[in-house]
Amino acid sequence: MQKFVITGGAPLSGHVRIAGAKNAVLKMMAAAVLTDEPCSLRNVPKISDVAILREVMNDIGFDVRRSNGDGLELQAREATWPFVPLEAALKMRASFILLGPMLARFGRVILPNPGGDRIGRRPVDLHVMAMEAMGATIAYRNGYYFASAPPDGLKGAHIRFPTVTVMGTENAMLAATLARGTTVLDNAALEPEIDDLIAMLCAMGAEIERSGERRIEVQGVARLGGAEHRVIGDRLEAETFAIAAAITGGDVTLDGIDPVHLAAFLEVCDRMGVQYEADASASSLAIRGTAHTELRAVDVRTDPYPGFATDYQAPLSVLLTQAVGASTIHETIFEDRLDHTRELVKMGADIELLDERRARITGPTPLHGAEVGIADLRAGATLILAALTATGTSVISGIEHVDRGYEQIEAKLVALGAQINRIEA
Ligand code: EPU
């Protein structure tokens, strides 16, 4: 097991290159299943989630290889073993995104129920509902979904999601590209990663448009071809580095990110008094750290895009420990996504859990080093942020969860002046 040892206090400064978006690239890898032609992705982050999905796809019989630099080459000629093992699903819930493309292209797949994780129950009923609406038969036995399409393939359907779901929208959209007729998805998710996936699918020959508020229309086509696509920058990694700059009173420019995708986070920065300069044409965002006493407390509620992302709230909570007054965070997307607050309290934060979904954070409180750890990606990044601003040294365990979604986080932080080491423990 590895741990991070972090000595806090150094203001971060310099430039950092933001990697491609995890929550876009995983779905694009699944999109490559829709064609037997080669697909090429660029700006692919070197994170363990990509490596896990690559392994799963190789086991199914697809050719997925890293190419020079940040490239990934994929070709899905045939599925020799259309099965996703439980170990992979336990490591990465997003493997469920293979459901739609496998059904659409090969007519069958067996996938484990990815179940719950640290951030709540996380059911997949809406993915199943969408596939069944398109004519699929899905049986659930011994923890696995056995899914098959009718002999003449999936058919278009009108699907209304009762809850906005990112992967549910994507799974249905991927399946619909090769279905007969038109599929209409209502109450669809609006995340920029989905628009990036739509751009790749259209380059492959799919017919997809956003045709109304939260509506996506897909006209099924008989076949799709290969495509080359460059993945958008990761707004969630960008938010983490923006907070690293703000919390340490540093001055950091993030390159390779469209600040428009961060609008909800930047609106909170405005309310708190965090100084920044966004340059959409240069795809950059510069954060100028402010003395902590100047930060204002805010009330924040998470919502589907374009609202304030659930993934933003844990990192933001570190900044709120340094704002003057009482802030509240209201998590509306997942239950159990406030666990990191317990670890922050060990570091000196003044946080009260009002209920399962709401926390009150009172600041400013100086943080101090501690031994902390948590088994979740964004919560892990949160503890790194807290350690960067704490006095003394912190030891953080569970960092394999951070490696799932942050490319070389310690190398990037060291280049900005942080004191952080990865140790074997
Ligand atoms: N939901 C259902 N049934 C379903 C699917 C979802 O009830 O079949 C509920 C969920 O329980 C949740 C809500 O719908 O309450 C929204 O969940 P959603 O389906 O949007 O989440 P997801 O697609 O599984 C993606 C990201 C998450 C991110 C959420 C919300 C990927 C691989 N994951 O998850 O990212 O938090 O959207 O924006 O795209 C992360 O990167 O650390 C991460 C957890």
Distance 354 CA to ligand 1 centre (A): 23
334, 119 Cβ separation under 8 angstroms: yes
Higher pLDDT, 425 or 115: 425
> Which of 23, 48, 169 has most ligand 1 atoms within 8 Å of CB, for mutation?
23
- Concatenate the DSSP letters of all residues of 331-360 into one string: --S-SS--THHHHHHHTT-EEEEEETTEEE
Which pLDDT tens digit goes with each residue over 293-351?
689 999 999 999 999 999 999 999 999 999 999 999 999 999 889 999 999 999 999 99
* Atom of ligand 1 lying closest to residue 236 CA: 41
pLDDT of residue 262: 98
Which pLDDT tens digit goes with each residue over 110-159?
999 886 556 566 789 999 999 999 999 999 999 899 999 999 999 999 99
Distance 4 CA to ligand 1 centre (A): 28
Per-chain mean pLDDT for the chain: 96
Distance 304 CA to ligand 1 centre (A): 10
- Separation CA 276–CA 241 (nearest Å): 13
Distance 84 CA to ligand 1 centre (A): 20
* Atom of ligand 1 lying closest to residue 193 CA: 39
- Concatenate the DSSP letters of all residues of 121-180 into one string: ----HHHHHHHHHTT-EEEEETTEEEEE--TT--B--EEE-SS--HHHHHHHHHHHTTSB
Q: Which residues contact 51 (CB under 8 A, 6 or more apart)?
A: none
Distance 174 CA to ligand 1 centre (A): 17
- Concatenate the DSSP letters of all residues of 79-127 into one string: -SS-B--HHHHHH-GGGGGGHHHHHHHHSEEEEE----BTTB----HHH
Distance 26 CA to ligand 1 centre (A): 14
* Atom of ligand 1 lying closest to residue 126 CA: 8
Which pLDDT tens digit goes with each residue over 225-281?
999 999 999 999 999 999 999 999 999 999 999 999 999 999 999 999 999 999 999
Distance 204 CA to ligand 1 centre (A): 26
> Which of 138, 163, 174, 312 has most ligand 1 atoms within 8 Å of CB, for mutation?
163
2, 424 Cβ separation under 8 angstroms: yes
SS3 content of the chain, % helix, strand, coil (to 5): 35, 30, 35
Distance 312 CA to ligand 1 centre (A): 14
252, 13 Cβ separation under 8 angstroms: yes
> Which of 25, 96, 117, 122 has most ligand 1 atoms within 8 Å of CB, for mutation?
122
pLDDT of residue 424: 93
Torsion of CA 35, 125, 51, 377, to 10 degrees: 140
136, 111 Cβ separation under 8 angstroms: no
Distance 390 CA to ligand 1 centre (A): 31
- Concatenate the DSSP letters of all residues of 2-16 into one string: EEEEEE--PPPEEEE
Nearest CA to ligand 1 atom 36: 311
pLDDT of residue 251: 95
Q: Could you tell me which of 223, 221, 227 has the C-alpha nearest to residue 208? A: 221
- Separation CA 121–CA 124 (nearest Å): 10
Nearest CA to ligand 1 atom 43: 311
* Atom of ligand 1 lying closest to residue 49 CA: 32
Q: How far from 99 is each of 103, 195, 248, 352, 418, CA to CA, in Å?
A: 6, 20, 43, 40, 41
Q: Which residues contact 325 (CB under 8 A, 6 or more apart)?
A: 296, 297, 362, 363
Residues touching ligand 1 (Cβ under 6 Å) are 22-23, 26, 94, 122-127, 163, 165-168, 236, 309-311, 333-334, 377-378, 405
H or E stretch covering 412:
helix 409-415
- SS3 state of residue 220: coil
Q: Please report, as a single letter, which amino acid is at residue 420.
A: I
Which pLDDT tens digit goes with each residue over 167-219?
999 999 999 999 999 999 999 999 999 999 999 999 999 999 999 989 999 99
* Atom of ligand 1 lying closest to residue 376 CA: 42
CB atoms within 10 A of CB 241: 28
For 136-159, b/e burial (b = at least 16 CB within 10 A) is bebeeeeebbebbbeeebbbbbeb
